[in-house]
Chains A and B, each alone.
Chain A
Amino acid sequence: MNLQKVISGFFFILAMTLNFGFFYGDMSNLELHSTYELFAALVISLIATALKIGDKTQIGSVLLASSLVADMQLIAAVVVWTVIEYTSGMTPAHMATVVSLSGGAFLANMTSVILYIGETLKSKR
Chain B
Amino acid sequence: MKNNALWIILQRLRIPLIVIIVTYSISILGMVLIPGLDDKGNIYHLTFFDAFYFISYTASTIGFGETPYAFTYEQRLWVLVCIYLTVIGWFYAIGALVSIISDKTLKQELTKSRFRRRVNRLKSDFIIVLGYNHVNSQAIKKLVAAGLNVVLVDKSEDKINGFLLEDYSKSVPVLVGDALLTETLESAGIHKSNCKAVVAHFFKEDKNLRIAILTKFLNSNVKVITKATMNETMTSLLDTDIAKVENPFEIFAKRFDIALSSPHILVLENWIYKNADLTDEAVFLPKGRYIICGYGRLGKLLKEKLDKHDLDYVIIEERLRGDSKMLSEGRYIRANADDKEVLKESGIESASVLVAGTQNDIDNISILLTARKINPDIYVIARENTMKEVSIFEATKANWLFMIEQILINKTSLQLSQPLKHCFLKRILYKDEQWASSLVNLLKVQLGDNPRLLNMTITEKRAFAIYTAIENGETVTIDMLLKSLEDWTKYHKALPLFLKRGDEEILLPSNEALQLGDQLLFACDEESREEIELIASNIYDLHYVSTGEEKKNWLLEKIFG
| Chain A residues in the interface with B (C-beta under 8 A) | 35-36, 39, 43, 46-47, 50-51, 53-54, 56, 78, 82, 85-86
Per the bound structure, the CA–CA distance linking A50 and B48 in Å amounts to 22
Complex alpha-carbon distance, A51 and B48, angstroms:
25
CB-defined contacts of A47 to chain B, threshold 8 Å: 18, 21-22
- Which residues of B (20-70) have their CB < 8 Å from a CB of A? 21-22, 25, 28-29, 32, 47-49
Ranked 4 nearest A-B pairs via Cβ: A54-B11, A54-B10, A43-B25, A50-B17
Q: Do residues B14 and A53 form an inter-chain contact, with CB atoms below 8 A?
A: yes
A35 nearest CB neighbor, chain B only:
B48
Interface contact A43-B47, CB-CB below 8 Å = no
| Nearest CB in chain A to that of B25: its residue | A43
Out of B14, B29, B49, name the residue touching A51 (CB < 8 Å). B14
B1 interface contact, C-beta 8 A: yes
A50 contact set on B, CB distance < 8 A: 13-14, 17-18, 21
Within 8 Å of chain A (Cβ to Cβ): is B84? no
**Does A53 contact B13, Cβ atoms closer than 8 Å?**
yes
Is B7 interfacial (CB 8 A cutoff)? yes
A81, B12: Cα distance in complex, Å: 34
For A39, give the chain B residue with the smallest CB separation: B48
Residue on A nearest B51 in the bound complex, by CB:
A39
- Select which of B1, B10, B47, B49 is within 8 A of A53 by beta carbon: B10
Interface of B is mostly: helix
B11 in contact with A51 (CB, 8 Å)? no
Q: How far is the CA of A53 from the CA of B14 in the complex (A)?
A: 7
Residues 460-488 of B at the A interface (beta carbon under 8 Å): none
Whether A51 contacts B18 by the Cβ 8 Å rule is yes
| Listed A/B pairs (7) with beta-carbon separation below 8 Å | A36-B32, A39-B25, A39-B32, A43-B25, A51-B18, A54-B7, A56-B1
Complex Cα spacing A86 to B50, Å: 11
What's the least CB distance linking A77 to chain B, in Å? 12
B156 CB to closest chain A CB (Å) equals 30
B48 near A54: Cβ-Cβ < 8 Å? no
Partner of B7, one of A56, A82, A85: A56
Q: Which residues of B contact A39 (CB under 8 A)?
A: 25, 28-29, 32, 48
The answer to whether A53 and B17 have CB atoms under 8 Å apart is: yes
Bound-state Cα–Cα, A86 to B48, Å? 12
From A46, A50, A78, A85, name the one whose CB has the most chain B CB atoms within 10 angstroms.
A50
State the CA gap A35–B48 with chains docked (Å).
8
A54 to B15, CA, bound (A): 11
B49: A residues at CB distance < 8 A: 82, 85-86
Residues of B within 8 A of A36 (CB): 29, 32
Residues of A close to B32: CB separation below 8 A: 36, 39
Q: Once the chains are docked, how many angstroms separate the CA of A86 from the CA of B49? A: 10
**Nearest chain A residue, comparing its CB with the CB of B28:** A39
Partner of B11, one of A35, A53, A86: A53
Alpha-carbon distance between A53 and B49 when the two chains are bound, in angstroms:
27
In the bound complex, CA of A56 to CA of B11 (Å): 10
> Cβ of A46 and Cβ of B21 under 8 Å apart?
yes
- Give the Cβ gap from A101 to chain B, nearest Cβ, in Å: 16
